[in-house]
Amino acid sequence: MAFELTAEHLAIRRAVEEFGREEIRPVAAEHDAQHSYPVELVQQAADLDLVAPHVPAEYGGAEMDTLATTIVTEELWRADPGIGSAIGSRGFGSTMLLHFGDEWMKERWLPRLVEGEVACASAISEPAHGSNVAGMETIAERDGDQYIINGRKMWITNANIADIMVVMAKTKPADGHRGISAFLVPTEIDGLATEPIENKLGIRASDLGEVILEDVRVPADHLIGDENRGFYQLMEFFANGRVSVAAQAVGVAQASLDAATEYAREREQFGRPIEEFQAVSHMLADMATAVEAARSLTYRAATAIEAGHDERATRLASMAKLFASERAVEVADDAIQVHGGAGYVSDHPVERYYRDARITKIYEGTSEIQRSIIADHLD
């Protein structure tokens, strides 16, 4: 399957790259060091249609296709993974709302999401259940015209800043994955509390936390889609999430390559730039090849999703996520090697890129999970 970037795709890349270069990169190290959420940059990104850019125009969004949103994610992470994550995650859960939510949900929340006014979180993982979604222990019991939700969610992006959450809970616990439902839960509701997780290795400018739900009552009309169909609704968009992480990996890998190339041209040893030494130049060549191969596979996966090729999209998305994340960590590691001792301290961004890249091998399904999916979808 081939892909081709249109003039619009190229224009989007230039716009995001300029935003990243002029606004994000100068303050990236500060936000990482202080673990501070980039409120002003998120609003600037929203003004440029970079928050939840997939949302249709009827709800105020930019209505970008899958390849365009992939490019946006890539360039934001190339500017800085932490801030890129904060911007890119503002609309977590919006896809579920868009495709399965009632019209009132879309009209009330989607325009405010794309304008940067509110944030959304997707609460799926639990302390004892990450990749095993079907094992979740959060329960939602019907009580008249309400549901009562009890449980704990862990590793939730935007947990502490979200205005709404899409919470996955079991409405028929005995049925495993066949008994899971999705709920729209406003975070100001009684019984919902969050705990920040601040000791992260990387992407420190983004928000992460635990969500505690104790007798949280939501109206029955806050059910998203059909009761006991939440797992299947979620599965419809797993490929999108994996392509998004692949794009993140490509972005941080490109940033690592950029930094290593610049340093190799400036750093001199034995009277000449180190890029002239074959050992270094070959390392840069391998890094560049890895980045381009990861980008190509990621774009192919995005194109397959847009074309509606479900089986191919599932396989390619897992391949892209696996390959791009593994290469991102390797390229970031090589970037530190090119810098030598200077790469091991925070004077240069490559140590941050190395820390940031590591998460791409974990969330939205670990590398091990991706290998299992790929094996299951071989022709």
| 351 within 8 A of 358, measured Cβ to Cβ | no
SS3 217: strand
Cα 217 from chain centroid (whole Å): 29
Number of helical (H) and strand (E) elements in the chain, helices listed first: 13, 10
Catalytic status, residue 364: yes
Structure tokens at 96: 């579920």
* Cβ-defined contacts of 22-25 (< 8 Å, 24+): 24/76, 24/79, 24/80, 24/83, 24/84, 25/79, 25/80
> Could you tell me which residues come within 8 angstroms of residue 157 by beta carbon, excluding any fewer than 6 positions away?
85, 89, 92, 121, 122, 206, 207, 208
- The tokens describing 58, both together, are 């009827």
- From the candidates 75, 210, 326, 364, give the one annotated as an active-site residue: 364
| Residue 141, beta-bridge partner list | 148
Scored b (16 or more CB within 10 A) or e, 322-344 reads bbbbbbbbbbbbbbbbbbeeebe
CA angle 314, 315, 316 (to 5 degrees): 95
- Given the DSSP bridges, would you call strands 164-170 and 120-123 parallel, antiparallel or unpaired? parallel
Catalytic positions are: 364
